[in-house]
C-alpha cells in the first residue's frame, strides 16, 4: 500500500479560520495588528513549529514571510482580535486585563485535524493595553521563543513559537530597545481569567457560551455529559496539577503565575520572568518584581491550587459547588503523586517504596546546603556506581561535606540493590529524564546581547541545542556548564 505524502503548505495555501471570532463580541475586540514603522526582518524561524501547521520551511526564506508574521499583511480567513479576560495578579483581582500587546490572527488546522491558534505578540495597541504601548522588545521575545521550545524539548506541555520578527523601531522599557514580534502557537489561548471576567460581571449566560465553546472545540468527549462543566473543570485540575509537578521536577520557576497566565489546556503560558534553578534553592524567586516571593519556586504547587480555586468560583453558576470542590480536593494528591513519579525516575528508581520520599528530600536538602547545581548534579547522578571501591568520587566533588554525601550514598546504594538495579541500564534511563542542557538565564542573555548587535546565530544555536536537551551534543559541553558569577545574577522582571 502506497501512502501519499501531503504537499507542504505555502503562504498562499496556509488556510486560516477563527472560530473564536464567531463568539459574541463581548469576548474580544476586533482589530488589525499595527505593523512596524521600519521594515521587518526575520530574526529566527522554527521548523519544528512549522511542521505543526504543515508549513514548508522554505517559505521562511521569502520576503513576504516577515511581513505576514509582523502584521503588515493579512491572508484570507484571518479575523484578528484581542481577547478579553481578567485575573488575579499577585493575589489581587484586576477587573479587566485582556490582550494588551497581542492579537489572535486566527487558527490553522493541519492535515491531522489538529487546530493551532497563531497569536502575534507585540502587535501594537489594543483596547486592553491600559498604560502599555502594545509592543514587545527583542529581549523579551527571544526569551519566550527559546524557553517555550526548551520546555517542549523537556517534554513539558507548553505554547510553541513559530518565528521571531525584528525591527529597528524604538521601544521604551527600562531603556530604549528595539521592537520585535513573536508568533506564539497553542491549541487555544483561553485562560482561567477568560471565565473570571464573565463571573465577576455577572454575565452568566455569556459564561455558559464560553464554556460550551471550549468544551465543544477542546474537550469534545464531554459534550454529551450531563455534568460536563464539572468534568471539564476536573480535567483542567488534573492537567494543571501534572504540569506544575513537571515544573518542580525539572527545577523551573514561572515567575508570574497570575490566573490570567494559566491555560485551561494545562500548558505553560506566558513566558515573562522565568528561570531554571542553578544552585538549588527551593525558595528561588526568578522575578525581581515579586518582592514578597508569592511565586517562589517552592510556592508553585500551592499557587496552582489557589488559581484553580479562582476558576472553580468562576464556574459556580454552571456546576454544583460540591462537584467543583471534589475536583479541587484531588489536586494535591495528583500533583504530589506525579511529582514523586518524576523524581523516582530522576533517581533511577523503578519500584515504589514508602521511604523514597525521605531519600529524595534528604538529597535535596544536601543540595540546598551545599548550593549544588540542580541540573548538573542530577545528570551526574546517573553515573552513580554500586559497589564502587572509590565511592563515587565524581559525585562527592559536588559537596563540601563529603561525609554527609557518603552517608546518603549508602542509603541510595542500598535502595538500588533492593530492586536489583543495574548501573548500565539505570544510566540510560536516567539520561532520558535528567537533561544535560537547560535554558539558563545567562545563556539567554548572551543570545540577547548578540542579537542586539544583529547577530542572530546564537538564537538558532540554542534553539537546536534545547530541542534535544537529553542528548550529549558534540562540542556543546560549554552550554551545560554552571553559570559564571555574572550569570547567577541576571535580573529578570515582568518587562523581560
CB atoms within 10 A of CB 76: 9
Concatenated DSSP letters of 344-407: HHHTT--S--TTHHHHHHHHHHHHHHTT-BHHHHHHHHTT--TT-SS--HHHHTT-S-HHHHHH
Residue 391: its pLDDT value, please? Answer: 63
pLDDT bucket at 130, cuts 50 / 70 / 90: confident
Residue 10: its pLDDT value, please? Answer: 94
Q: Kind and range of the H or E element at 420? A: none
Residue 489: its pLDDT value, please? Answer: 66
Active-site residue, 260 included: yes
Question: pLDDT tens across 299-352, in order?
Answer: 999 999 999 999 999 999 999 999 999 999 999 999 999 999 999 999 999 999
Task: Determine how β-strand 160-172 pairs with β-strand 102-109.
Answer: unpaired
Average pLDDT rounded to a whole number, residues 421-431:
97
pLDDT bucket at 407, cuts 50 / 70 / 90: very high
**Choice among 260, 278, 290, 373 that is catalytic:** 260
Residue 492: its pLDDT value, please? Answer: 78
- H-type alpha helices, 161-222: 192-200, 204-218
Residue 496: its pLDDT value, please? Answer: 45
Q: Is the pLDDT of residue 367 over 90?
A: yes
Among the listed residues 199, 225, 314, the one whose alpha carbon sits nearest the alpha carbon of residue 264: 314
pTM (two decimals): 0.95
Question: pLDDT tens across 133-191, in order?
Answer: 999 999 999 999 999 999 999 999 999 999 999 999 999 988 899 999 999 999 999 99
Residues near 205 by beta carbon (within 8 Å), at least 6 away in sequence: none
Q: Determine the distance from the C-alpha atom of residue 316 to the mean position of all C-alpha atoms in its chain, rounded to a whole number.
A: 28
Helix (H, G, I), strand (E, B) or coil at 450: helix
Instruction: Please state, rounded to an integer, the average pLDDT across all residues of the chain.
Output: 95
pLDDT bucket at 388, cuts 50 / 70 / 90: confident
Question: pLDDT tens across 21-68, in order?
Answer: 999 999 999 999 999 999 999 999 999 999 999 999 999 999 999 999
Residue 5: its pLDDT value, please? Answer: 58
Residue 14: its pLDDT value, please? Answer: 93
Question: pLDDT tens across 428-481, in order?
Answer: 999 999 999 999 999 999 999 999 999 999 999 999 999 999 999 999 999 999
The residue with cell 522599557 is: 173
Q: Give me the phi and psi of 421, to 5 degrees please.
A: -70, 135
Question: pLDDT tens across 73-91, in order?
Answer: 998 899 999 999 999 999 9
Residue 2: its pLDDT value, please? Answer: 39
Query: Could you tell me if 210 and 23 are in contact, meaning their C-beta atoms sit under 8 angstroms apart?
Result: yes
Q: Is the pLDDT of residue 3 over 60?
A: no
Q: What percent of the chain has pLDDT over 90?
A: 92
Q: Is the pLDDT of residue 490 over 80?
A: no
- Round to whole Å and give the CA distance between 375 and 397: 15
Amino acid at each position: 500500500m502506497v501512502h501519499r505524502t501531503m504537499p507542504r503548505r505555502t503562504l498562499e495555501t496556509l488556510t486560516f479560520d477563527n472560530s473564536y471570532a464567531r463568539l459574541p463580541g463581548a469576548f474580544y475586540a476586533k482589530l488589525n495588528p499595527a505593523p512596524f514603522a521600519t521594515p521587518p526582518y526575520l530574526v529566527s524561524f522554527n521548523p519544528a513549529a512549522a511542521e505543526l501547521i504543515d508549513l514548508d520551511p522554505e517559505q521562511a526564506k521569502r520576503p513576504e514571510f516577515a511581513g505576514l508574521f509582523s502584521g503588515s499583511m493579512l491572508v484570507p480567513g484571518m479575523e484578528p482580535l484581542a481577547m478579553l479576560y481578567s485575573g488575579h495578579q499577585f493575589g489581587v483581582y484586576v477587573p479587566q486585563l485582556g490582550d494588551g500587546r497581542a492579537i489572535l490572527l486566527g487558527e490553522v488546522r493541519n492535515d491531522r485535524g489538529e487546530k493551532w491558534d497563531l497569536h502575534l505578540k507585540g502587535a501594537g495597541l489594543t483596547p486592553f493595553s491600559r498604560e502599555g504601548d502594545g509592543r514587545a522588545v527583542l529581549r523579551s521575545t527571544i526569551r519566550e521563543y527559546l524557553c517555550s521550545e526548551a520546555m517542549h524539548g523537556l517534554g513539558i506541555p507548553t505554547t510553541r513559537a513559530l518565528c521571531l520578527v525584528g525591527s529597528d523601531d524604538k521601544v521604551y522599557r527600562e531603556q530604549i530597545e528595539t521592537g520585535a514580534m513573536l508568533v506564539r502557537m497553542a491549541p487555544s489561548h483561553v485562560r482561567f481569567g477568560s471565565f473570571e471576567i464573565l463571573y465577576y460581571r455577572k454575565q452568566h449566560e455569556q459564561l455558559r457560551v464560553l464554556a460550551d465553546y471550549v468544551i465543544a472545540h477542546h474537550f469534545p468527549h464531554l459534550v454529551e455529559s450531563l455534568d460536563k462543566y464539572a468534568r471539564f473543570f476536573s480535567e483542567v485540575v488534573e492537567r494543571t496539577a501534572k504540569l506544575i509537578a513537571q515544573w518542580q521536577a525539572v527545577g523551573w520557576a514561572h515567575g508570574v503565575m497570575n490566573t490570567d497566565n494559566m491555560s485551561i489546556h494545562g500548558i505553560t503560558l506566558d513566558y515573562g520572568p522565568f528561570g531554571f534553578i542553578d544552585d538549588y534553592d527551593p525558595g528561588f524567586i526568578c522575578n525581581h518584581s515579586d518582592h514578597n516571593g508569592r511565586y517562589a519556586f517552592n510556592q508553585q504547587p500551592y499557587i496552582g491550587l489557589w488559581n484553580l480555586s479562582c476558576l472553580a468560583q468562576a464556574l459556580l453558576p454552571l456546576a454544583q459547588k460540591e462537584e467543583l470542590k471534589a475536583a479541587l480536593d484531588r489536586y494535591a494528591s495528583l500533583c504530589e503523586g506525579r511529582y514523586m513519579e518524576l523524581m523516582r525516575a530522576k533517581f533511577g528508581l523503578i519500584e515504589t517504596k514508602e521511604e523514597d520520599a525521605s531519600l529524595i528530600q534528604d538529597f535535596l536538602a544536601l543540595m540546598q546546603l551545599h548550593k549544588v547545581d540542580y541540573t548538573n548534579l542530577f545528570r551526574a547522578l546517573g553515573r552513580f556506581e554500586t559497589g564502587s571501591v572509590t565511592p563515587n568520587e565524581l559525585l562527592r566533588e559536588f559537596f563540601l561535606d563529603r561525609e554527609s554525601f557518603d552517608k546518603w550514598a549508602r542509603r541510595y546504594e542500598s535502595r538500588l540493590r533492593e530492586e536489583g538495579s543495574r548501573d548500565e541500564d539505570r544510566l540510560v534511563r536516567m539520561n532520558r529524564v535528567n537533561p544535560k542542557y537547560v535554558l539558563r538565564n545567562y545563556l539567554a542573555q548572551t543570545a540577547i546581547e548578540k542579537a542586539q548587535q544583529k547577530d542572530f546565530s546564537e538564537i538558532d544555536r540554542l534553539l537546536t541545542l534545547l530541542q534535544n536537551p537529553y542528548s550529549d551534543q558534540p562540542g556543546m559541553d560549554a552550554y551545560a556548564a554552571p553559570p559564571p558569577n555574572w550569570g547567577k545574577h541576571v535580573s529578570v522582571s515582568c518587562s523581560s
